[in-house]
């Protein structure tokens, strides 16, 4: 090491450069090459690789599903890969089933913003974000859902993500976000182990168990209780309402909580 520093000192003296400036000149090309390194493809599924510059490193234990609100996937990809937008996601699933890969799964994409789930207030640091090409009002086409199911199965197998940790943007940001919306087929996903679902009849909920307790135990932020109720109803009842939970909805929430605790949906 001393020999290297001596050589650097001799060269910098000849060039009239401070040693630190010379070392920076030596290392800058390797730093630039590192910044332009190809995006490592970890999934075995066919994907279109479109690297996004917006990320930070972490290990995923959740999957957060979004819809793009765009008219087509191309517009969404432009937004998600433009540095000035400040937003990104790991994957985008187009209407035709094409999967676009934008941020390394091990790195932190910027997709959930201010969010909360089950005590975690920094969902971006612990999740994989998937944008689904949908304007928020249209049905989700079959090729898109089939591609999404394949991607979720791949992620779950490689990262051992529990069924309860597949959530929507509206779940982790109630009152601020509603995606992937009331048209999203959560029941179908739960049947494959991606999320939770319960069918009636439901056991009666013990007296004194209020909505806030049930929803908080499921993972929702109940600081805005009407918004949390709205998120629950949108996902599990496909309705837009912030009214207090009905007895049937309370029974379903209790059933979901039991499945979350027992891991019953972890196929």
pLDDT attached to residue 232: 98
pLDDT attached to residue 18: 52
Instruction: Select from 3.30.1360.10, 3.40.50.720, 3.40.80.10, 1.10.287.40 the CATH code of 49-262.
Output: 3.40.80.10
pLDDT attached to residue 10: 53
3-class SS at 117? strand
- Model confidence, pTM: 0.82
CA distance 267 to 265: 6
Q: List residues bridging with 189 in a β-sheet.
A: none
pLDDT attached to residue 55: 82
CB proximity list for 120: less than 8 A, separation 6 or greater: 62, 126
Cβ atoms within 10 Å of 57's Cβ, excluding its own: 9
The residue annotated as part of the active site, out of 131, 146, 199, 249, is: 131
Q: Is 146 labeled as catalytic in the residue annotation?
A: no
CA distance 234 to 182: 5
CA distance 196 to 256: 6
CA distance 257 to 213: 11
**DSSP classification of residue 244:** P
75: left (phi over 0), alpha (psi -120 to 50) or beta: alpha
What string of pLDDT tens digits covers the 267 residues of the chain? 445 445 534 544 544 445 444 444 444 444 343 445 678 898 999 999 999 988 877 789 999 999 998 888 999 999 999 989 999 999 999 999 999 999 999 999 999 999 999 999 999 999 999 999 999 899 999 999 999 999 999 999 999 999 999 999 999 999 999 999 999 999 999 999 999 999 999 999 999 999 999 999 999 999 999 999 999 999 999 999 999 999 999 999 999 999 999 987 776
pLDDT attached to residue 195: 97
């Amino acid at each position: 090491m001393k020999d290297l520093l001596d050589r650097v000192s001799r060269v910098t003296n000849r060039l009239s450069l401070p040693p630190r400036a010379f070392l920076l000149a030596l290392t800058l090309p390797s730093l630039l090459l590192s910044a332009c390194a190809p995006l490592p493809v970890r999934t075995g599924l066919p994907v279109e690789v479109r690297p996004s510059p917006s990320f930070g490193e972490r290990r995923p234990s959740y999957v957060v599903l979004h819809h793009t609100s765009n008219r087509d996937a191309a517009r969404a990809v432009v937004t998600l890969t433009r540095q000035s937008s400040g937003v990104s996601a790991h994957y985008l699933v187009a209407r035709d089933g094409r999967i676009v890969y934008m941020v390394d799964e091990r790195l932190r994409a910027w997709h959930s913003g201010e969010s909360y789930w089950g005590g975690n207030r920094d969902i971006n640091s612990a999740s994989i974000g998937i944008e689904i090409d949908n304007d928020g009002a249209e049905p989700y086409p079959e090729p898109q859902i089939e591609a999404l199911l394949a991607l979720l199965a791949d992620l779950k197998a490689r990262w051992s993500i529990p069924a309860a940790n597949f959530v929507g943007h509206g779940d982790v940001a109630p009152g601020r976000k509603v995606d992937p919306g009331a048209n999203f087929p959560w029941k179908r996903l739960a049947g494959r182990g991606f999320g939770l679902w319960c069918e009636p009849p439901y056991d009666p909920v013990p007296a004194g168990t209020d909505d806030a307790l049930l929803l908080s135990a499921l993972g929702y932020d109940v600081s805005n209780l009407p918004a949390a109720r709205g998120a629950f109803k949108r996902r599990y009842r496909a309705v837009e309402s912030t009214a207090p939970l009905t007895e049937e909805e309370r029974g379903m929430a209790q059933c979901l909580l039991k499945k979350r605790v027992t891991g019953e949906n972890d196929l």
